[in-house]
Amino acid sequence: MSVTKVHARQIFDSRGNPTVEVDLYTDKGRFRAAVPSGASTGVHEAVELRDGDKANYVGKGVSKAVNNVNTVLGPELIKSGLKVTQQKEIDDLLIKIDGTPNKGKLGANAILGVSIACVEAGAAEKGVPVYQHLAELAGVKPPYVMPCPAFNVINGGSHAGNKLAFQEFMLLPTGATSFTEAMKIGTETYHTLKKVISAKYGIDAVNVGDEGGFAPNVSGAEESLELLTEAISKAGYEGKIKIALDVASSEFYKDGKYDLDFKNPNSDPQKWISGTELADLYLSYVKQYPIVSIEDPFDQDDWEAWTHFTKNSSVQIVGDDLTVTNPLRIKTAIEKKACNGLLLKINQIGTISESIQAAQLAQSDGWGVMVSHRSGETENTIIADLVVALGTGQIKTGAPARSERVAKYNALLRIEGEIKDGVYAGDKGLSAGLTAPALLKI
């Protein structure tokens, strides 16, 4: 069954910024996809095409990307006569039409909208759930693996107005026995954390950030880690919850050093630290707290610091800004032994086929793979299907709050209810130093 009509429009993401939505039609009906958008974006990411017209939508309109779907990508896809089940061929066609290495001509946001809509249509054509269709495209056989969620519950960095340099502090219910139980553990601990923060910092400290986490006025990472430890203990889940960090350190890398006071315009350059000193700080936290994963510990081009840290660490070191879901960057990271984990963001690369390829390349070197949302999200839930399809066992899609985040968790609850014989990943999706995730060995 091929595509009969494609129509894109401008809608809004969870931050009130314009984004692209695509409706794709076949004889089976209408299939809809919406595209997310990031705030702390890596310089090596595929291009999100914005209008740049400051008089409208603060320059963030996407009418050019929408127009590219309606006048270029849609008509070419219809003309090709490709079946909606031919995902790889469709994605290759979209890439070829754009013709640039970073999708800069037509926009990764335009291309991804069409790519996701095709996945939805392809699943309907086969009469199977989206996760099953994606698993078949990726060559992954059942039993399906339900992921361990990584709940971003304390925000700093570019996502928050406090002094905290590190961007995300996450709770991972690795000790749960099912995804349903992981949600119970995560939500109960989230509510407990809310009470702990409210008692210490006041009621306005529990306003939520872009991803549903809290942004209390903490002085630094240790204070945040202490809050998490207290909440885990008070909720009664010691030993069942591990901690993950997303440092997003490219945001505070200056002149070859790291400025942990980067939000202060009068920050003292004498106090900026080297990559090695920052690595030692992380290692001290890993000793003291149940930290199992650290994302973007160093700047996206500070390869030396990454390699040094990965060699000396026993946890999962995740590349996000470093690798930007791009097979070429992942290959370099594999060669340099720069990390042992991939953050998979579909809009960093711009098609579903390339996202699958990126995950499999990372797994071929024994990495963990964490499927991820963006800070500007929509109600689209394709990443829930993708993480189950790939069987990587890890997903981060915000705190258990705000509907655009919870939509993904609810989709996963439905999938778990449907698959019956699925297994819950727990900590088996995590790599640890030189040890590959247990899931890869099954």
Which residues does the annotation mark as catalytic? Answer: 211, 345
Which long-range contacts link 199-206 to residues 24+ away (Cβ below 8 Å)?
Answer: 200/227
Phi then psi for 435, rounded to 5 degrees? -90, 125
- Closest CA relative to residue 395, chosen from 414, 376, 378, 411: 411
Quote the CA–CA distance of 206 and 266 in Å, as a whole number.
28
Amino acid at 394: Q
Quote the CA–CA distance of 290 and 310 in Å, as a whole number.
18
Quote the CA–CA distance of 285 and 247 in Å, as a whole number.
13
Contact at 8 Å (CB) between 315 and 76? no
Contact at 8 Å (CB) between 8 and 63? no
Contact at 8 Å (CB) between 380 and 134? no
- Residue 178: DSSP 8-state: S
Phi then psi for 192, rounded to 5 degrees? -65, -45
Quote the CA–CA distance of 217 and 199 in Å, as a whole number.
13
Q: How many CB atoms lie within 10 A of CB 334?
A: 18
Contact at 8 Å (CB) between 188 and 151? no
Phi then psi for 150, rounded to 5 degrees? -115, 105
- Helix 275-288 × helix 221-235 angle, to 10°: 20
Which residue bears the tokens 């160093």?
298
Phi then psi for 394, rounded to 5 degrees? -145, 135
3-state secondary structure 271-300: HCECHHHHHHHHHHHHHHCCEEEEECCCCC
Q: Which two tokens stand for residue 378?
A: 């929509």
- Residue 437: DSSP 8-state: P
